[in-house]
A and B are shown apart, each in its own frame.
Chain A
Amino acid sequence: MSETRGLYTLWLREIKRFLRDRMRIISMFVQPLLWLVIFGAGFGLRFTIPGLSYQAVIFPGIVAQTLLFTSMFMGISVIWDKEFGFMKEILVAPISRFSIFLGKMIGDSSSSFLQGIIVFAIGLALGIPIDPVTFLYAFPIMVLITLGLVSIGLTVASFIGSLESFGAIQTFINLPLFFLSGALFPLKGPGISLPTWLTTVAAWNPLTYGVDALRIVILGAAWTPLQIQPLWVDLGIVALFDVIMIAIGTWAFTRMK
């Protein structure tokens, strides 16, 4: 009982902190807009897949990218708390490290979901064919993707002492995960031949399956010939990734002082 309440209060704190940070909320709108409008328009020139515009193809990729960047960034809350002493108050409380990790993880994930929702709104405004039902299908997938990614951010942050080094490491993790997930180009399908090394690495990237699942749901039948795995396999892999990352994250929080 008290574990649940502790978890809830840690979640609430992350939400409050997030909503009070106006700059972060503004930046939530800007980044996906830039990708979809500028990148989407520029690279769309040479893109030919029947029945799909390039913007529509990268839209699920940009959703995943937004979740990735936001989730990883959230790890900063751990470093912030360590630097400013608040972590001590949490660590010495009579509540398990698993609850502490979960409270922070769910709190930070909630902020990421919010960002994901905003990307959908932007997509809609840009005329990408999505409807409310698509969103209802996509949302649980977004949740599944986010939990694992936030866990990576929190785990990494629990090992790192300063904001500066976290920034550096974050880029180091974000970009490969993003570029090798097929977020910006299809990884397989008729007429698509990519270097083997790239597809091999992408096959080990959990985000690949998240992006694939989102595309299956958002793009519908037009994506079927290009899909990497059936939807349930995609979801299974992402869920497995979540479980592993949560276990690692809890372990990392247990050894934090």
Chain B
Amino acid sequence: MSHVIETRQLTKAYNSLKAVDSIDVSVESGEIFGLLGPNGAGKTTIISMLCTMLKPTSGNATVNGFDIVREANKVRKSIGIVFQEPSIDDRLTGRENLYMHANLYGVPASEQKTRIDRVLKLVELEDRADDLLRTYSGGMRRRLEIGRGLIHYPKVLFLDEPTVGLDPQTRDHIWRYIRELKQAHDITVVLTTHYMDEADRLSDRIAIMDHGKIVILDTPPKLKETLEGDVVVVRANNIHALSDLVSKSLGLENKQIVDGALEVTVRNGKSAMPRIMELATQNKIYVESILLREPNLEDVFLHYTGRTIRDDTGKELHGMSAIQRRKIR
């Protein structure tokens, strides 16, 4: 398979801080590539460089075979972008926004109407197309932006946190849409997200980023396999005491407290459960519930970065403020 994006030692430094640190990564043509990481991991910085909006400090990259620095204009023609923050004109109608985009990207005038009608239908905004954007809800605006990114038939579509602030139905719909798109148009999608389920369900491969580096890169099933084992989830009245006991008495170190529940990753969950129960009873800790599940991406993330993405309040706040900004407009 050919590589539609290739980076070589791609680096972006702000003074001494390396936001993106010597990254070598190849994205294959036609895949959905997920970038997953906490706030400040460098996801948006990578995307900004690949979209030619930021110049790398050192290293380079090609998108669709074009150099991101020397052939910026050709790169721009090859890509579609949906930014994390809204970027549509709310004084224009939906249709006008799409026409403007088509003109900016040099879509032949004879094809504009057909393409725009099709996109409007895809994102289910046909009946609102001639209303001013300021009357749209946050979800509708987002849908329009995703549709807009496709009008010039890009080779690569960059989606920076595409479903932040959308209701579950709309998210589900957008995911299905992105998948269909990939199959129908042979388009490559690069996606950043902090929603685990989004990364898991959409991505063919996921790169987990932390501190400007890619910590691990693989398909979602393989990432989960690397953890080899089960996760035991315990809820108890003195969760911190139990956590300490689990490591002291049972020697289990691969654990984390998530939302007030203790999650322990073990090789054999069925044999670990009774031992944890016994330990709790001996130490007069009351266990409310205990269950066994397979590792998910959240655990993979935790394993490689040492923190949960939900712990990362900065990220969540960012998501929330993005929602609010959309609502205000």
Q: What residues of chain B have their CB less than 8 Å away from a CB belonging to chain A?
A: 51-54, 73-74, 76-77, 81, 83, 85-92, 96, 99-101, 103-106, 109, 329
List residues of chain B with CB within 8 A of the CB of A232.
none
Contact between B106 and A94 (Cβ–Cβ < 8 Å)? yes
Whether B76 contacts A13 by the Cβ 8 Å rule is no
**Contact A88:B83 (CB < 8 A) given known A6-B106, A94-B105:** yes
Q: Can you list 21 pairs linking A and B with CB atoms under 8 Å apart?
A: A5-B109, A6-B103, A9-B99, A9-B100, A9-B103, A12-B100, A13-B89, A13-B96, A17-B91, A20-B91, A85-B87, A88-B53, A88-B83, A88-B85, A89-B83, A89-B101, A90-B104, A92-B52, A93-B76, A94-B104, A96-B73
Once the chains bind, are B77 and A94 in contact (CB under 8 Å)? Answer: yes
Which residues of A, 1-56, contact B by the 8 Å Cβ criterion? 1-2, 5-6, 8-10, 12-13, 16-17, 20-21
Select which of B51, B89, B103 is within 8 A of A86 by beta carbon. Answer: B89
- Chain A residues within 8 Å of B90, by CB: 84
A91 within 8 A of B: yes
Of A6, A10, A21, A86, the residue contacting B88 (CB under 8 A) is A86
A226 CB-CB contact with B under 8 Å: no
**Bound complex: CA A8 to CA B104 (Å):** 9
In the complex, the answer to whether A85 meets B106 with C-beta atoms within 8 Å is: no
Q: Is A95 an interface residue (CB 8 A)?
A: yes
Q: Which residues of B contact A13 (CB under 8 A)?
A: 89, 92, 96, 100
Residues of chain A within 8 A of B51, CB atoms compared: 92
Cα distance, A16 to B93, chains bound together (Å): 11
Q: List residues of chain A with CB within 8 A of the CB of B99.
A: 9
Interface of A is mostly: helix
Interface centre among B52, B74, B104 (most CB of A within 10 A): B104
Residues of B within 8 A of A86 (CB): 87-89
Per DSSP, chain B at the interface is loop
Chain A residues near B76 (CB-CB < 8 A): 92-94
Are A93's CB and B87's CB within 8 A? no
Query: Which of B73, B92, B96, B103 gathers most chain A CB within 10 Å?
Result: B103
A88: chain B residues within 8 A (beta carbon): 53, 83, 85, 87
**Which residues of A sit under 8 angstroms from B74, Cβ to Cβ?**
94
* Contact residues in A for B81 (Cβ distance below 8 Å): 92
Contact B53 A93 (CB under 8 A): no
Residues of B within 8 A of A90 (CB): 104
Contact B106 A1 (CB under 8 A): yes
Q: Which 4 A-B pairs have the closest CB atoms?
A: A2-B106, A9-B103, A94-B76, A93-B104
Q: Which residues of B contact A93 (CB under 8 A)?
A: 76, 101, 104-105
Which of chain B's residues have a CB closer than 8 A to the CB of A92? 51-53, 76, 81
Q: Which residue of A lies closest to B88 (CB)?
A: A86
Q: Knowing A92-B76, A94-B73 touch, does A8 contact B91 (C-beta < 8 A)?
A: no
- List 10 additional contacts besides A21-B91, A257-B53; criterion CB under 8 Å: A5-B106, A6-B104, A8-B103, A13-B89, A85-B86, A86-B89, A87-B87, A88-B83, A89-B87, A94-B73
Please give me the residue from chain A that is nearest to B100 by CB atom.
A9
- List the A side residues contacting B109 at CB < 8 Å: 5
Min CB gap B327→A, angstroms: 14
Q: Which residues of A contact B89 (CB under 8 A)?
A: 13, 17, 86
Distance of A41 Cα from B99 Cα, bound (Å): 49
Task: Please indicate the chain A residues that have their CB under 8 angstroms from the CB of B73 in the complex.
Answer: 94, 96
A7, closest chain B residue (CB): B103
A45: min CB distance to chain B, Å = 45
Q: Which residues of A contact B329 (CB under 8 A)?
A: 84
Cα A94 to Cα B102 in complex, Å, equals 11
